[in-house]
Amino acid sequence: EAWQPDATFFELIRERATINAMLAEVAGEAVAKGNVTEKVKTQKQIIGDCLAGKNDRPKVDNWLPGVMAFPFRSYGSGICSIATAARTARGVAQTV
């Protein structure tokens, strides 16, 4: 069985842009745009509903957030030390 995000995972993510990008991944761009001004808690609930197939949301299986993937995929254009390190590592690997 694939990794599944739990409540702790979502508690650690607080940035609205990140949650909205994750919502777009699991529920689609239209749902994310339609909920962009909703509270982060509401957007997290919709993601959870999609992952569980609850509240008339189609179930999404095997979702892996970019922050858990390898290579790391960041959400948004902000500075992130993990994303910067991943880009640097890819650059070094490509020159070897």
List Cα–Cα distances, 65 to 4, 51, 69, in angstroms: 10, 12, 7
* Residue corresponding to tokens 């979702």: 63
Q: State yes or no: pLDDT of 95 exceeds 70.
A: no
pTM: 0.76
- Largest Cα span, the chain: 50
17 CB-near residues (< 8 Å, 6+ apart)? 75, 76, 78
Structure confidence by residue, pLDDT tens digits, 17-60? 889 999 999 999 999 999 999 999 999 999 999 999 999 999 99
